[in-house]
């Protein structure tokens, strides 16, 4: 084998037209997402154990009930039918509660889907989520024709944020203020810090549910937990809202009457601030557009 030719060189292609088209690697097509990114969500050991307990409880309960109903029928038709009625009513209630829970969770998932679509810049998905959302909201329903016509994600987002979302935010803040005043009052007069905490927790949960309902969500128990989780742990959102909350708290508490309490009511002021913040962060968590 001989040595390869020494030295680099340029070989012009004379048979080619003078101006060659630019290279095209078909890159745009090559990078189109095939499946929407869907993270594998893992079941933790605890989750599996809990599911097992539920299956055992409900399953064995159902078998037991079936056996018992069959036995009652051997005793007599009346007892049989009565037992069946009781069993069906009982399990029906459980099932309907489960269904409500599921719907609550699904409605929160829908918020996630909408946000993901906005974050991805996927106009079509974001539009259809926005339309579905607007369909279920009295405030947003008139916006539907306009939503159908927008040409870009930014436009869609601006339309939602300027219209219904701004209104919702005001209402959520009003709910927050009401809860804040109550929390302040309760902590100011309550005899023990333990009771404060209890009242605060109860009022907080109610506030989050109120805000969710405002946004067209029907959070059940699981949904509320999911929302609370987001509300309490979304550090970034909390930091962003702190400034706004500061101003709101000052406006709310710079009241002659309340200032009388100032000394012993420091805890009350804190509780009020927390409520205001909770309302804002909960509203943030329920919005169908991602935080900026």
Partner 1 sequence: MASLTDPLGLLRDAAMGAEQLGRGLLGQERIRLAVTGLTRAGKTVFLTSLLANLLAAGQGRRTLPALEAAAGGRLRGVRLVPAGIESLPRFDVAAHLAALAADPPAWPGRTEDLSTLELTLEVERRSWLGGLLGSRSITLELLDYPGEWLLDLPMLSQDFAEWSAATLQRLRRGPRAEAARDFLAFVDALPAGTPDDEALARRGFILYRDALRHCRDRLGLRFLQPGRVLNPGPRGEAPILWFFPLPHPEGSGLAMLLARRHAAYVADQRDNFFEPYFRRFQRQAVLVDVLGALHAGQEAFEDTAEALAAIAAALRYGGSWLDRLTGAGVDRAAFVATKADHVPGRQRDALAALLGALVAAPQNRAEGAGAATAVHAIAAIRCTEDDVVTLEGRPVAAVRGVLLRDGRSARIYPGEVPLRPPEPGFWDHGFFEMPEFQPPRLDAQGVSGVPHLGLDSLLAWLIGDLL
| Minimum distance from residue 42 beta carbon to partner 1 (Å) | 6
| Minimum distance from residue 8 beta carbon to partner 1 (Å) | 4
Rg (CA), the chain: 29
DSSP per-residue letters across 189-222? H-S-HHHHHHHHHHHHHHHHHHHHHHTT----HH
Would you count residue 9 as binding partner 1 (CB under 8 A)? yes
Q: Which stretch binds partner 1 (CB under 8 A): 34-42, 55-63, 132-140, 263-271?
A: 34-42
Q: Which of 275, 158, 134 is nearest to 216 (CA)?
A: 134
Q: State the Cα–Cα distance between residues 234 and 290, nearest whole angstrom.
A: 13
Q: State the Cα–Cα distance between residues 241 and 25, nearest whole angstrom.
A: 46
* Neighbour count for residue 89 (Cβ, 10 Å): 10
Query: Quick one: which of 33, 145, 151, 191 contacts partner 1 (CB under 8 A)?
Result: 33
Query: Quick one: which of 67, 229, 247, 255 contacts partner 1 (CB under 8 A)?
Result: 229
Of the chain, the end-to-end C-alpha distance in Å amounts to 64
Would you count residue 22 as binding partner 1 (CB under 8 A)? yes
Would you count residue 138 as binding partner 1 (CB under 8 A)? no
Would you count residue 243 as binding partner 1 (CB under 8 A)? no
| Minimum distance from residue 112 beta carbon to partner 1 (Å) | 11
Query: Quick one: which of 44, 74, 254, 260 contacts partner 1 (CB under 8 A)?
Result: 44
Would you count residue 254 as binding partner 1 (CB under 8 A)? no
In contact, 199 and 190? CB cutoff 8 Å = yes
In contact, 135 and 164? CB cutoff 8 Å = no
Q: Which stretch binds partner 1 (CB under 8 A): 31-39, 79-87, 98-106, 158-166?
A: 31-39
| Minimum distance from residue 120 beta carbon to partner 1 (Å) | 5
Please state, in angstroms and as integers, the Cα–Cα distance from residue 36 to each residue in 126, 140, 257, following that order.
Answer: 14, 28, 56
Query: Quick one: which of 48, 104, 116, 185 contacts partner 1 (CB under 8 A)?
Result: 116
* Neighbour count for residue 27 (Cβ, 10 Å): 7
Would you count residue 27 as binding partner 1 (CB under 8 A)? yes
Residues at the interface with partner 1 (CB under 8 A): 2, 4-13, 16, 18-25, 27-28, 30-34, 36-37, 39-44, 47, 116, 119-122, 229-230, 233-236, 290
């Amino acid at each position: 084998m001989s040595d390869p030719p020494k030295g680099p060189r340029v070989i012009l292609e004379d048979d080619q037209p003078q101006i060659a088209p630019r290279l095209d690697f078909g890159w745009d097509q090559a990078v189109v997402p095939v499946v929407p990114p869907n993270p594998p969500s893992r079941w933790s050991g605890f989750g599996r154990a809990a599911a097992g307990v539920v299956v055992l409880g409900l399953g064995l309960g159902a078998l037991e009930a079936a056996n018992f109903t069959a036995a009652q029928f051997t005793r007599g038709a009346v007892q049989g039918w009565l037992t069946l009625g009781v069993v069906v009513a009982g399990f029906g209630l459980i099932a309907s509660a489960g269904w409500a829970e599921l719907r609550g969770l699904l409605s929160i998932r829908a918020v996630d889907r909408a946000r993901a679509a906005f974050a991805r810049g996927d106009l079509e998905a974001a539009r259809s989520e926005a339309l579905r959302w607007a369909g279920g909201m009295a405030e947003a329903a008139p916006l539907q024709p306009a939503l159908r016509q927008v040409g870009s994600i930014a436009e869609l987002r601006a339309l939602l944020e300027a219209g219904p979302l701004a209104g919702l935010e005001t209402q959520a803040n009003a709910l927050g203020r009401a809860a804040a005043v109550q929390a302040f009052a309760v902590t100011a007069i309550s005899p023990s810090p333990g009771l404060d905490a209890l009242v605060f927790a109860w009022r907080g949960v109610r506030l989050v549910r109120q805000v969710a309902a405002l946004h067209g969500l029907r959070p059940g128990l699981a949904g509320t937990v999911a929302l609370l989780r987001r509300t309490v742990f979304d550090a970034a959102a909390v930091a962003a809202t702190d400034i706004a909350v500061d101003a709101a708290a000052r406006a709310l508490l710079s009241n002659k009457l309340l200032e009388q309490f100032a000394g012993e009511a420091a805890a009350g002021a804190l509780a009020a601030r927390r409520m205001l913040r909770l309302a804002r962060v909960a509203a943030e968590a329920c919005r169908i557009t991602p935080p900026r």
